[in-house]
Homo-oligomer: A and B are copies of this chain.
Amino acid sequence: MSNKRAGVFVGSLRRGSYCKSIAKFVSSLAPNNFKMDMIDLSKLAMYNQDLDDDGNPPKEWTEFRAKVKPLDGCLFVTPEYNRSVPAVLKNALDVGSRPYGKNAWDGKAGGIISVSPGSLGAFGANHHLRQPMAFLNILMLQQPEAYIGNVASILNEKGEITSESTRQFLKNYMDAFVKWVDTISDMK
């Protein structure tokens, strides 16, 4: 297996974001030849096609697109807001998909971990996030599905995962994700 690189996209801006804790842990599990880059979404202005059409898009958009383009894989770690995807994550997808004909996500391998303080595991966010992937041509890992519910109970105050079964589950998840990125990037 050659060197691969995945971006990690977190759908929460909170300082103490549970998703960031989970994202940090899974990033630490990547093998040596597999780089995981946490990609900041907080500076992306809300998508407005005029800014592209006027030929002067925000430099944060341009930089974001340039970061997404060379990736082999994309790992989305998302909370659920009101039974669906947080706007910050949907906006990142939209910014990266444009301008028309220059979809930066095209052909990448994708994975989703959804995270919730409640028991439903952010199912609504997890599956709503999959619908744009068809259009964006992000090829999705299916199993294992990753719904991390009751997340507050498995993190300590430093944001470290204290549940051994969750740690093991996430290790298995990362094994599958790494293999998936490898398969899809070699296909291109």
Residues of chain A whose beta carbon lies under 8 Å from any beta carbon of chain B: 13-15, 42, 46-50, 81-88, 90-91, 93-94, 97, 106, 119-121, 123-124, 127-128, 130-140, 142-143, 145, 147, 149, 179, 183-184, 187
User: Given A142-B139, A147-B120: A82 and B132 within 8 A (CB)?
Assistant: yes
Note all chain B residues with C-beta closer than 8 A to A133: 142
Nearest neighbor of A51 in chain B, beta-carbon distance: B13
Taking the closest CB of chain B, its distance from the CB of A102, in whole angstroms, is 14
Q: How many copies does the complex hold?
A: 4
A124 touches B119 (CB 8 A): no
Contact of A131 among B46, B83, B137, B147 (CB under 8 A): B83
Note all chain B residues with C-beta closer than 8 A to A88: 46-47, 87, 91
Provide the bound-state CA to CA distance between A80 and B23, in Å: 29
A-B pairs, 5 with minimum CB distance: A87-B91, A13-B48, A82-B132, A123-B123, A137-B143
Taking the closest CB of chain B, its distance from the CB of A50, in whole angstroms, is 5
Contact of A183 among B46, B136, B183 (CB under 8 A): B183
A135 touches B83 (CB 8 A): yes
A82 touches B120 (CB 8 A): no
